[in-house]
Structure 1
Amino acid sequence: PLEDDRVYGPGESLRFQLTLIGKAIDYLPYFIYTFEELGKMGLGKGRGKFSLDEVKRIGGRLKGNGKSEETIYSAVEKILRMNLSSSALDLSPVTCYPTPPTLRLLFLTPTRLKFEGDLTSDLKFHILFRNLLRRISLLSYFHCGDELKVDFRGLIKESEAIQTQKSNLRWYDWERYSGRQDTRMKLGGFIGRVTFYGALDSFWPYLSLGEFIHVGKGSSFGLGKYEILRMNDEP
């Protein structure tokens, strides 16, 4: 969940996102069943009970603001209304985006990007793109059974020409408890807004996909989530 709430009273709603990729999409019914059973068992120290109300599929951006949503499962009907056929990652051009020379990103959860073996807090576009391209390539190969066929060196070289126009990023220290290791883990990263400038046409499909799959270390449990801001979004 993106909200910071840790305590929920009776009648309050908790909304969270789950991203399934490639072969994992076929297991969506099992995830739904698991969350329903988890609600009966209880969650947290007090084992608070909950019920699964509905599941929505989030699609690409609409022509207006926001992303499309479609209810595919509800507690009333208990019928999954979705084609579960999985396919390789689609990197076709994103027609809903214009191709302006300016890119504005909002990092919503701590983002941990490595370059030359070290975590970076001074974000350059090529560092973001290297990490994103690597994640997309690995997901495509291991989860979708399809090798990503792009000019890696050419794209990375092109990404090095993109400049940072404005940065309002800040480091956010975040901790999580690891039951397996029985210890608290520090997983801080940067959050906030950054604006890049340059010839961005080649990068829009990857950046759009990154909104859904996140980027950087810890992305499997929610880190590295960002949104592409439109020109009419708040500064």
Structure 2
Amino acid sequence: MSKQATPLVALCQRIKVNRFCFLIQAKEELRLPSYKGSTLRGGFGKAFKKVCCSQPKLKCSECALSRACVYTYVFETSPSRQSAMMKLYQAVPHPFVIEPPLRRQGVFQRGESLEFTLTLIGRARDYLPYFVLAFKELGEIGLGTGLGKYELMAAHSDDNQENHRIYETLSSRFGECPSPIDIGLGNTPNEDDQLELKFHTPTRIIYREQLAAHPEFHVLMRALLRRVSAIAYFHCGTPPELDFKSIVEQAQEVKIIGEDIGWFDWERYSNRQKTRMKMGGFLGTATYEGPWKNFLPLLKLGELVHIGKGATFGLGKYSIG
């Protein structure tokens, strides 16, 4: 695996990522579900199209401006079917992740505030003002049951860079996108150290055509390799040059030695499919031992971009213990 460590580090370092914290304040009663990621993601998609689209009566596929459209890039990314990478993926991952507040409070009265985090990946970082405007617009459209209105009060970098504000309501001015996050690969732990992963939101990984019920290490690494490779190729202009077979074989040597994992079932309503969808996944903590050290680049990047299905609305959030 050592010969693969350098290419893996190089790939992860080429994926530029920023995180931003948004503060919103209810202008009237907001009624939101206990898990707010899907609601934020659904409302944001509509607002983003309203902000970006100059031909709202046309389908994206029929619009002459689609190749130059920010909305089309973010939500309808459609590279050539001749692309070698497209043979491996059914869909292109979106270049953003919305992390909702995890508190279960459902009703916010006028004047109450809540925060959420937006992660932008690769080329999407260039379009930061569109994302900010979309969340501002969503406050005017309304959010949740009854479409309660809110005001976007401020947005700032969540990249450990002090006081880097990118928007505040008093000035309505945008700051520049800061430098990308350094995922910090300098502090490599000893090989003998155990690895602990904490899964904070339902994690949905498909392995052998079924949802994985346990976070086996090689299953996690397969999912991260797929996600990170697709992000690198489609959003960062970086074709992955990795020996996937060798990496997976090494991952199979890392074993779970302890776990406190449970299954969490929840449902969300899909506006696109007009139906309620079950979105269960595993939660909890798992401890591993074995040759996991060379996977640290993937693990640290995965903390930012999440893992598995539903990552854009906050599922698959984990942290290295």
Is the TM-score greater than 0.5?
Answer: yes
The alpha-carbon distance between structure 1 residues 96 and 27, as it changes in their structure 2 partners (threshold 3 A), is same
Matched residue SS, 2:152: coil
Q: Does residue 1:75 correspond to 2:161, yes or no?
A: no
Distance in 1 (alpha carbons) for counterparts of 2:114 and 2:215: 32
Residue equivalent to 2:310: 218
Distance in 2 (alpha carbons) for counterparts of 1:41 and 1:7: 18
The alpha-carbon distance between structure 1 residues 54 and 134, as it changes in their structure 2 partners (threshold 3 A), is same
Deviations 1:73-132 (A, max 9, x none): 22233332223788xx98x86124534521111111110112122111122100011101
Q: Please list every run of 5 or more consecutive structure 1 residues that lacks an aligned counterpart in the other structure.
A: 61-66, 230-235
Distance in 2 (alpha carbons) for counterparts of 1:77 and 1:195: 47
Residue equivalent to 1:190: 282
Alignment of 1:136-147 (within 5 A): 136-147=228-239
Residue equivalent to 1:15: 115
Number of residue-to-residue matches in the alignment: 220
Deviations 1:162-208 (A, max 9, x none): 11111101000011101121111001000111111122221111100
Distance in 1 (alpha carbons) for counterparts of 2:242 and 2:172: 42
RMSD: 2.3
Give the conservation status (yes or no) of the 8 Å contact 2:261–2:286.
yes
Give the conservation status (yes or no) of the 8 Å contact 2:121–2:235.
yes
Q: Does residue 1:205 correspond to 2:305, yes or no?
A: no
The alpha-carbon distance between structure 1 residues 85 and 142, as it changes in their structure 2 partners (threshold 3 A), is farther
Distance in 1 (alpha carbons) for counterparts of 2:274 and 2:305: 28
The alpha-carbon distance between structure 1 residues 227 and 40, as it changes in their structure 2 partners (threshold 3 A), is same
Distance in 2 (alpha carbons) for counterparts of 1:154 and 1:58: 35
In the superposition, the TM-score normalised over structure 2's length comes to 0.63
Structure 1 residue 72: deviation in Å? 2.6
Residue equivalent to 2:202: 110
Deviations 1:28-49 (A, max 9, x none): 1011111112212322232222
The alpha-carbon distance between structure 1 residues 118 and 96, as it changes in their structure 2 partners (threshold 3 A), is same
> Counting helix residues as a fraction of each chain, which structure ranks higher?
2
Matched residue SS, 1:156: helix
Distance in 2 (alpha carbons) for counterparts of 1:54 and 1:142: 30
Structure 1 residue 214: deviation in Å? 0.5
Alignment of 1:1-235 (within 5 A): 1=100, 2-59=102-159, 70-83=164-177, 94-96=185-187, 98-99=189-190, 101-229=193-321
Residue equivalent to 1:233: none
Give the conservation status (yes or no) of the 8 Å contact 1:93–1:204.
no
Give the conservation status (yes or no) of the 8 Å contact 1:72–1:81.
yes
Distance in 2 (alpha carbons) for counterparts of 1:175 and 1:68: 38
Distance in 1 (alpha carbons) for counterparts of 2:162 and 2:299: 18
Distance in 1 (alpha carbons) for counterparts of 2:143 and 2:200: 25
Moved more, 173-182 or 41-50: 41-50
Q: Please list every run of 5 or more consecutive structure 2 residues that lacks an aligned counterpart in the other structure.
A: 1-99
Residue equivalent to 2:73: none
The letter of the residue matching 1:24 is A
Distance in 2 (alpha carbons) for counterparts of 1:201 and 1:93: 14
The alpha-carbon distance between structure 1 residues 44 and 83, as it changes in their structure 2 partners (threshold 3 A), is closer
The letter of the residue matching 1:33 is L
Distance in 2 (alpha carbons) for counterparts of 1:69 and 1:187: 36
The alpha-carbon distance between structure 1 residues 192 and 22, as it changes in their structure 2 partners (threshold 3 A), is same
